Structure 1
Amino acid sequence: MGDAFDQAGLIDLAELPDAAQDFDAFLHEIRDRFGVDHVAYAGMNPINRSVIGHVTYGKDWQEHYATQGFHRIDPTLHSARRSIAPVDWSRLERDLDYLTVFRSAHDFGISDQGVTIPVRGPYGDIGGLSLTCGGSKTEWKALCRENLHVWQALSVHVHDLVISSDSFSSLLRGPSMSMREREILQWTAEGKSQQDIADILKISHRTVEVHLRSARHKLYALTTAQAVGRAISMGLIYPG
């Protein structure tokens, strides 16, 4: 995998054989290339809100993190979701969530010195690439200054790789909705009631409800309004 790095320090994912199957090794390559302690990627499926993670952390921390449900309170993840700029961990609020996660991480030898670079994709998908490194603050700041622009470009490539190779990629690119389901959602987006839609399409009110229920299921939506919003964000229908 060494040839994946070009002379500018960027990584050409096309040079990675079977990258989807060897993603953890890919992150280790990034870690070693930049001389950091750990590299982690976390991405969120915008449809069912599931989280994907690929990390270089040890198995003991991975298991502890998952068992404790830290992904629900991890400030590095939540801050990245609210930001479009890199998030320096030193600027995170030292609230209860921060203390809970980082005190525990310290017990596993993981530094609280790091940065998370957020990425937003075309389907409402959100991801973040995190790099952490112990040592002096001066050395860490110098490492960031030298490489942050590379990490930002790299984070986009990593996110694209994960989204395109993960098992739910087909869902992100559009669930297999029928033309009738999209048609009914489109009319709903334009403010039509179920009875209005039934009259327009010359079908029964009951049939409209069946199609809406199916659309909600395919879009992992609890309500019709939520299904409409997600269908619009995915380009399946247009705003009314």
Structure 2
Amino acid sequence: MRASEVRQAAQALFDNHNTPFGAFSLGSETHQTVTIPDAVRRCRWIAVDLEATAFGLFFVSPSMERSRLVPCFDSDYPGVSVASKFISGSNGEEMVRHARISTEPCWWADDGASGTEAMFDALEWVSRTAPLVPGSNGIAFPVHAERGQCGLVVFMGSAMRVTQEMLYEIHGRCFALFSAVARIRPGEAGRVRAISKRELECLKLTANGHTSEEIARLLKLSVHTANQYLTQTTQKLNAVNRMQAVAKALRMGLIE
């Protein structure tokens, strides 16, 4: 099933009133005014339908230096769960590549729960992947939105219940959810200008409490050049100062 077909399925769900977003089109004003807390609540409703105990919505990062899955929110909102840290690390690199070229859902079973592997294996149009979180079971839905944005909606749990009919419906709801979130977070969901490796190094050292002089010494730069990198990064992140740039970069997963 192509991305356009899944988006059409999501639209059909709206038209038939079979979605927690209510009866409105993907391009309506109501759709554009969804808030992040509202999106978290709606993702939780999907998790309940799947009998999942954890969930997360991720964007593929705009960084050209290192593509990764950036957590937007998860079941620990407003905090970030340990599971999300695994997914946004090296565990999610293969899923980044998959999400960019396919909308096929991927599942894994790694906690030894009886019947879970057989349930997933019986589904059509899904494939198995390496565990995104060790010792867990889960399913990841690749999603796409306008302006070429893509990401992943992930659900995990030891007693999840997924049927073939549910698979398509849930994926349509995930597309709708991701589209809504992408509309209200355009600056952090794909419009950030490419940040260089050196700029990220300077920002990471700032996050660790280093001054411009210390950064220059550690990276063997002039103080002027270090300040220039930090100014450029602040502008690219649309931040008012370095500290806000650090906060945004941490939230987007550009630095750790």
Structure showing the higher helix proportion among its residues: 1
- Bigger relative CO (Cα 8 Å, ≥ 6 apart): 2
